[in-house]
Amino acid sequence: MVVCRMTLMVCKTKRSKIEKKTKWWKLKKEECCEEFRQKLRQALGGQVVLPDDWETTAEVIRETGRKVLGVSSGRRKEDKETWWWNEEVQDSIQRKRLAKKKWDMDRTEENRQEYKDLQCRVKREVSKAKQKAYDELYTRLDTREGEKDLYRLARQRDRDGKDVQQVRVIKDRDGRVLTSEESVQRRWKEYFEELMNEENERGKKSRRGELCGTESR
CA distances, 195 to each of 3, 59, 62, 217 (Å)? 64, 9, 8, 32
Q: Looking at the predicted structure, is the pLDDT value of residue 203 above 70?
A: no
Residue 103 placed within a domain: yes
pLDDT of residue 58: 74
CB neighbours (10 Å) of residue 22? 21
How many Cα atoms occupy the beta-carbon half-sphere of 206 within 13 Å?
12
Phi, psi for 176 (deg, rounded to 5): -85, 140
Taking residues 13-38, report their average pLDDT.
Answer: 75
pLDDT tens per residue, range 130-182: 788 767 666 655 544 434 444 444 444 333 333 333 334 566 667 676 666 66
pLDDT of residue 62: 84
Q: Looking at the predicted structure, is the pLDDT value of residue 34 above 60?
A: yes
Judged by DSSP in three states, 64 sits in helix
Residue 146 placed within a domain: no
Strands (E), the chain: 166-170, 212-216
CA-wise closest residue to 156 among 13, 46, 68, 79: 46
Q: Residue 173: is it exposed, middle or buried by C-beta count within 10 angstroms (0-12/13-18/19+)?
A: exposed
Residue 166 placed within a domain: no
pLDDT of residue 47: 54
Q: Looking at the predicted structure, is the pLDDT value of residue 26 above 70?
A: yes
pLDDT tens per residue, range 42-98: 887 755 444 555 667 778 888 888 899 888 776 554 444 566 677 888 888 899 999
Taking residues 182-203, report their average pLDDT.
Answer: 57
Domain count of the fold of the chain = 1
**What are residue 190's DSSP bridge partners?**
none
**pLDDT interval class at 37 (50, 70, 90):** confident
Residue 115 placed within a domain: yes
Residue 133 placed within a domain: yes
For 182-215, the three-class secondary structure string (H helix, E strand, C coil) is: HHHHHHHHHHHHHHHHCCCCCCCCCCHHHHEEEE
Residue 134 placed within a domain: yes
Residue 107: which domain range? 84-140
Residue 120 placed within a domain: yes
For 91-112, the three-class secondary structure string (H helix, E strand, C coil) is: HHHHHHHHHHHHHHHCCCHHHH
User: Can you tell me the distance from the alpha carbon of 171 to that of 145, in angstroms, rounded to the nearest whole number?
Assistant: 27
pLDDT tens per residue, range 98-142: 999 999 999 899 999 999 999 999 889 888 887 887 676 666 555
pTM: 0.38
Residue 29 placed within a domain: no
Taken in order 22, 26, 27, 31, is the CA torsion positive or negative?
A: negative
